[in-house]
Structure 1
């Protein structure tokens, strides 16, 4: 049974911002520390800072031979069973971290030449160069370190989706970057069958880590050694019948060996190899899982676009159905705009609660229309107002949304409504708002939502939102 089923959310994975895990078994995906760097948000920055702070604290303790301190820091890394992510085959029980493995982790780090030589910079470097540390352990360590932001995310998600929470739940170990120590406290979290549940944003999980030991060895270490052998004209160089020369990877492995000791040795000898690998990883972004990848991994249906749209269009107009319309629009837009827009919040409060926004999305786009927006206009958040009116939308509704904008929050919004008596006139009003430097508001009615759905259904890869781009260009080009 999945989280959505247990709590009767009436939503499937495409309309949920978090990974809809099985409440008993683990899902084989990882929290990749590099995925956190892709999030252009305060939440993502906090997570990155926590991971970096802890890892540097451990490396500093080991370098100073403060072994007891290093072991103490590592001993608080526990099995993060509450996320239900990892490699367990049966009930979620974790397999990477525990009391004994914390000592093993310290031993692996303290004996590593990569640590002693200062090669390591980030936690994910350990995948390449520290014995016994693989993607599962790095994922578990990362989850431990970002537990406090995950708790905050879970609480927000529970509020957004109506998931009940229990009080006085033990948080588990929380990393304090200021004092570089662990602590715990009692928090509000959902509890399932006596076990706490921690929700994880689907935008930060991956099937595979960005850093891969095999890739680094095969495509970087061996390629560098191959070049050296060719330049030296060594005995490994073979002359082919067509006059070409080559060095086989099999022969290179026979001469140099393989494994993390070899990787460390050759990286210390040629540190530019690691610099190139890191640079390539910065420039080649591994995107979040697609809807279909998540569907395959979670064994859940892919987006049913027709049903999501139908749920919006069949809501009867009128204030008495405003909440139903609001929820249906959020379910559709969450699926439509993933992974560009994440962390939807309903009734988002600003000005100390004196003003509210129906739906607020965090702009986490790394490509496409919303990424372009983030580079040219204040758009940290995208605001959505839902108007299930039977009457025409007029200036007061336009001014209401414009009044929610600010340079810090963002100045981009959508008004989603049922129809316009004169859509062209309303677009001109949005144009006036833009010309007056009061922000950019894109109007979308039922017909426009149909266009957006048809577009996303017709595109095999990640949607580019051409319809939305064209509508927005009218606001900046006229």
Structure 2
């Protein structure tokens, strides 16, 4: 039972911003700290800061001898099932740093040279350097530490998609980074009958496996560093080949020094540059979000049907009576085709204390392609969308309405979606004048343009180029 079907949302995963979890079990995806830290937005910075502050608080208490405090902090990450992410078969069970394992995890941190020498810096480091810490535990820990902002995200999504919420639901522990302790509250959350409360997670943040993997780090970063060190010192592990060249095999290193996590810690202490290089590479090459097709396969759900979205748009008649239906379909389409670049949609987003509203607002989290290029050259942290279900010409009032939503801090790029444009040359000139006057950049997309974008999605296997958008934008600035 997926949440979209339980609440009869009439959408599949491609048309939803959050993971369409199964209420009776888990989906084998994980919240990846590296993916979270790659977000270049205020929300992403908030999430990364919460993760860092919690782990630092645990380590500070261990180093300061306040072991009962450290154990209590870890114990509050007890197993909870409302996220529905991980490897559980059947009913969700979770694998977090729970009450039973808190003492074990504390013991591993306390006794490990990695934590006492400052080698451990981030939560994901524990995957590399501590025994018994796996990706499911890291993901569950991340979910719990980020419970506060994820509850707020869930409330936003419920408001957006019309999912009913129940007031007075116990939040569970919420990490307070300022006070360095766990809080508790009663909040509004969806409660799905016998399945209980649900906290939604953005699909942008989940991956099939964590970015940090001990086997990858050991073989491709640590062992090569050890090989260079042995060669330089001309140790007995150095072999001279027939052609006179010298080598140290990885097998010889593993036989001498071991290959478990204790060996990884000991060798990393001697070769800290290996871990530094690994962290830099992971930061600079964050894993890309899962594609629509990948998520559908993991969920055992239907893949996106781009032709069905075409038909849905074509079936809506122009005119004010169908304006709401048109806006709904445009948002469905844009959410699907602009993922993972644009996320966290908000309807009827209030600006200027409610004096102005915009139909749909997206957060631009692009890491490549057209929308990323926009972030490098223009104010575009938010992308504004206005929907006009007109069967008539668009004029200055419609262009001015959208440009009036722009600001240097929010963004100065918007999309004006409409049904048809009788005089495209004249409308293009209006939008170009707006750009020349430094009042922002408006890309107009009529039904035929949307069909072109949908056709591109049906044929691409990676992040689409959005050539149509790029061409229209370049026309504005040339």
Q: Paired residue for 2:131? A: 131
Q: Does 1:22 align with 2:48?
A: no
Q: Paired residue for 1:342? A: 343
| CA drift at 1:239 | 4.3
Q: Does 1:397 align with 2:419?
A: no
Cα distance in 2, alignment partners of residues 39 and 278 from structure 1: 16
Q: CA offsets per residue over residues 294-322 of structure 1, 9 Å max, x none? A: 11111112211111122112211111111
Q: Paired residue for 1:284? A: 285
The answer (yes or no) to whether the contact 1:30–1:205 under 8 Å persists in 2 is yes
Gaps of 5+ in 1: none
Gaps of 5+ in 2: none
Q: CA offsets per residue over residues 125-184 of structure 1, 9 Å max, x none? A: 111112221211111111111101000000000111111111110000001111111111
Q: Paired residue for 1:297? A: 298
What secondary structure does 1:191 align onto?
Answer: coil
Q: Paired residue for 2:74? A: 74
Instruction: For 1:397-476, list aligned pairs within 5 A.
Output: 397-476=398-477
Q: CA offsets per residue over residues 222-280 of structure 1, 9 Å max, x none? A: 11122223334444334445655443322221111111111111111121111111111
The answer (yes or no) to whether the contact 1:71–1:106 under 8 Å persists in 2 is yes
The answer (yes or no) to whether the contact 1:166–1:191 under 8 Å persists in 2 is yes
Q: Does 1:261 align with 2:293?
A: no
Q: Does 1:353 align with 2:382?
A: no
Q: Paired residue for 2:327? A: 326
Instruction: For 1:120-269, list aligned pairs within 5 A.
Output: 120-194=120-194, 195-240=196-241, 244-269=245-270
The answer (yes or no) to whether the contact 2:431–2:441 under 8 Å persists in 1 is yes
What secondary structure does 2:94 align onto?
Answer: coil
Q: Does 1:367 align with 2:368?
A: yes
Q: State the TM-score, normalized to the length of structure 2.
A: 0.97
Cα distance in 2, alignment partners of residues 234 and 49 from structure 1: 44
The answer (yes or no) to whether the contact 2:226–2:271 under 8 Å persists in 1 is no
| CA drift at 1:80 | 3.3
Cα distance in 1, alignment partners of residues 366 and 465 from structure 2: 11
Cα distance in 2, alignment partners of residues 465 and 37 from structure 1: 26
Q: Paired residue for 2:5? A: 5
RMSD (Å) for aligned C-alpha atoms:
1.3
The answer (yes or no) to whether the contact 2:310–2:454 under 8 Å persists in 1 is yes
Moved more, 409-418 or 455-464: 455-464
Cα distance in 1, alignment partners of residues 367 and 80 from structure 2: 28
Cα distance in 1, alignment partners of residues 368 and 73 from structure 2: 38
Cα distance in 2, alignment partners of residues 373 and 405 from structure 1: 15
| CA drift at 1:469 | 0.6
Cα distance in 2, alignment partners of residues 211 and 146 from structure 1: 19
Cα distance in 2, alignment partners of residues 278 and 39 from structure 1: 16
Cα distance in 2, alignment partners of residues 382 and 416 from structure 1: 13
Cα distance in 2, alignment partners of residues 190 and 126 from structure 1: 33
Q: Paired residue for 2:37? A: 37
| CA drift at 1:288 | 0.7
The answer (yes or no) to whether the contact 1:80–1:143 under 8 Å persists in 2 is no
What secondary structure does 2:321 align onto?
Answer: helix
Q: CA offsets per residue over residues 84-134 of structure 1, 9 Å max, x none? A: 001211110113332111121111111111000011111111111122212
What secondary structure does 2:407 align onto?
Answer: coil
| CA drift at 1:219 | 0.9
The answer (yes or no) to whether the contact 2:77–2:96 under 8 Å persists in 1 is no
Moved more, 151-160 or 285-294: 285-294
Q: CA offsets per residue over residues 187-244 of structure 1, 9 Å max, x none? A: 0000012410001000000111111111111111111122223334444334445655
Q: Does 1:87 align with 2:87?
A: yes
Q: State the TM-score, normalized to the length of structure 1.
A: 0.97
